[in-house]
Amino acid sequence: MNVVQTDIGMSAAIAISGVKKHFPGVYALKGITLSIDRGEFFGLLGPNGAGKSTLINIIAGLTRCDSGSVSVLGHDVVRGYRRARRCLGIVPQELVFDPFFSVREVLRIQSGYFGLGRANDTWIDELMDTLGLSDKVDANMRSLSGGMKRRVLIAQALVHKPEVVVLDEPTAGVDVALRKSLWTFIRRLHQEGHTIVLTTHYLEEAEALCDRIAILNHGSIIALDNTQGLLSRGIGNKVHISITVTEPIPTLPATLMTNLLSTDGTRLEFRLDKSVDSIGELLRELGRAGVVIIDLHTEEPDLEDVFLELTRERAL
């Protein structure tokens, strides 16, 4: 499905401005302002309770914000809800389904809600084929496995060919094979011109798929950058070094103690800040202390390190 972008001058797929939401006893969102460009693959990360689903529900019109505004392709999600919803496909986090209907009925009904009649059946067939649902078209929703139900949810979100697709933890609880096939499918949607917004707990997923990432914590955006930028920010200068030596070392030079993370017999763990520390200097210091190195392993930070560091900093 190649997306036909109608409003060429409009760059924001989703524009969120000063959105606040308060539930009894908790401020779920504390004034979120964010713009997601058309054609972008955007990741929304955060620990449980960070406000990700609340934000997505507000974009979808399922929750109303206390103040601020959200628009999808320039259409306000409250005042211009019809147009906004036509532009938007939402894959909900929970495996919700209507037990009365078969897969084909569910998709036809969802298509009908968007004003699309039988002329859309070709697209429905294509979707079922692409998502591997062709042999389940007449199966009742109750009889499907969790993975199949997840595919139907994705098909339902795409049935009206929306330009912007929001996936709220689409790979939560699915097996590795299905996760990989969903990745491939989502990548294909993005290549075809869809704007993709993805929330996920799998940081590896966000790192592999997203162009840009926002990290939410306690209802606020604590980081917003492209994926590489996020990886190289502050924490991104850190490098983790594991060194295996021939025999346990009774005492290390005092200059190395500040970078030492742990020692375990013949294994030493160091963390260096590349902006001030040098791996070469570390190795020379170890050499001067008479240490014989038999193995060395360095590890660049991944998104998980960034995520943990940022959410931990805010919690302190």
Chain residues in the site for another protein (CB under 8 A) = 23, 57, 60-64, 81-83, 85-86, 88, 90, 92, 94, 96-101, 105, 109-110, 112-117, 156
- Among 294, 284, 285, smallest CA distance to 256 is for 285
What is the C-alpha to C-alpha distance for residues 59 and 65, in angstroms, rounded to an integer? Answer: 9
CB 122, min distance to another protein, A: 17
Q: Is the CB of 95 or the CB of 239 nearer to another protein?
A: 95
Burial of 177 (0-12, 13-18, 19+ CB in 10 A): exposed
Give yes or no for a contact between 207 and 262, defined as CB atoms under 8 angstroms apart: no
CB 96, min distance to another protein, A: 4
CB 187, min distance to another protein, A: 24
CB 53, min distance to another protein, A: 11
Q: Is the CB of 120 or the CB of 311 nearer to another protein?
A: 120
Residue 7 phi, psi dihedral angles, 5° rounding: -100, 85
What is the C-alpha to C-alpha distance for residues 113 and 107, in angstroms, rounded to an integer? Answer: 10
Q: Is the CB of 38 or the CB of 108 nearer to another protein?
A: 108
CB 92, min distance to another protein, A: 6
Give yes or no for a contact between 70 and 14, defined as CB atoms under 8 angstroms apart: yes
CB 64, min distance to another protein, A: 6
CB 17, min distance to another protein, A: 20
Q: Is the CB of 111 or the CB of 171 nearer to another protein?
A: 111
Give yes or no for a contact between 174 and 202, defined as CB atoms under 8 angstroms apart: no
Q: Is the CB of 14 or the CB of 213 nearer to another protein?
A: 14
Q: Is the CB of 168 or the CB of 207 nearer to another protein?
A: 168
- In this structure, the strands spanning 293-299 and 67-72 are unpaired
Q: Is the CB of 86 or the CB of 190 nearer to another protein?
A: 86
